[in-house]
């Protein structure tokens, strides 16, 4: 593996848009789910000021919350469509020669989060942030592109298998609930 700066891997993107004019859904970044559509439960459109800025995120681009980067608040746009996010978020894309699936696994990993904590700026722990220039300077060991692809594919297959089993589990729980309701009527 070779030591590289993350600035060699990613380039920041900044495309400010009006989501209503562009016809894009508003999405957000969470620690638990990465890039995800804003749900009705968390809809805070009434708080959005007319002059708030939003950024476009295209498929396979990456977005993170600089204030929550040390918690793993980062996500890839694997929705297959353009979406809009808060203008406060940092948006970036992979440079040529790096594998999307590998970095989708590595960026929110415990190893990466520990690096973000080491490099975060700010005097109070709860106010530390990782802006793009800081992220760019982080050095880490990286495998070759071929090995990145193999590792990325392996973890993508694990995610797919996990999702399949989760759907089966959810279905069985729903069946149990239905059967219990009918049994104790």
Give the pLDDT score at 184: 77
Give the pLDDT score at 41: 47
Q: Is residue 74 a contact partner of residue 62, using CB atoms and an 8 Å limit?
A: yes
Q: Is residue 84 a contact partner of residue 37, using CB atoms and an 8 Å limit?
A: no
Residue spans of the chain under pLDDT 70: 40-51
Give the pLDDT score at 183: 84
Give the pLDDT score at 122: 84
Close Cβ partners of 151 (under 8 Å, ≥ 6 residues apart): 102, 105, 143
Please give the model's pTM, rounded to 2 decimal places: 0.80
Q: What angle do CA 156, 31, 104 make, to 5 degrees?
A: 25
Q: What is the DSSP string of 117-147?
A: HHH-B-SSGGG-B--HHHHHT-EEEE--HHH
Q: Is residue 27 a contact partner of residue 57, using CB atoms and an 8 Å limit?
A: yes
Convert the pLDDT of each residue in 79-133 to its tens digit.
Answer: 999 999 999 999 999 999 999 999 999 999 999 999 999 999 987 777 789 999 9
In angstroms, the CA 148 to CA 127 distance is 33
């Amino acid at each position: 593996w070779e030591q590289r700066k993350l600035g060699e891997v990613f380039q920041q993107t900044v495309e400010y848009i009006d989501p209503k004019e562009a016809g894009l859904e508003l999405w957000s970044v969470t620690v638990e789910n990465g890039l995800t559509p804003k749900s009705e439960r968390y809809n805070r459109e009434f708080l959005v000021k007319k002059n708030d800025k939003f950024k476009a995120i295209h498929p396979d681009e990456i977005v993170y919350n600089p204030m929550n980067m040390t918690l793993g608040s980062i996500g890839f746009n694997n929705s297959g469509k353009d979406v809009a996010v808060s203008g406060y978020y940092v948006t970036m894309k992979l440079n040529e020669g790096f594998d999307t699936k590998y970095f989708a696994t590595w960026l929110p990993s415990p190893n990466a989060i520990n690096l973000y904590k080491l490099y975060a700026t700010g005097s109070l722990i709860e106010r530390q942030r990782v802006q793009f220039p800081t992220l760019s300077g982080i050095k880490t060991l990286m495998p070759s592109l071929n090995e990145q692809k193999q590792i990325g594919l392996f973890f993508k297959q694990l995610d797919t298998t996990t999702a399949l089993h989760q759907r089966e589990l959810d279905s069985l729980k729903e069946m149990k609930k239905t059967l219990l309701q009918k049994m104790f009527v």
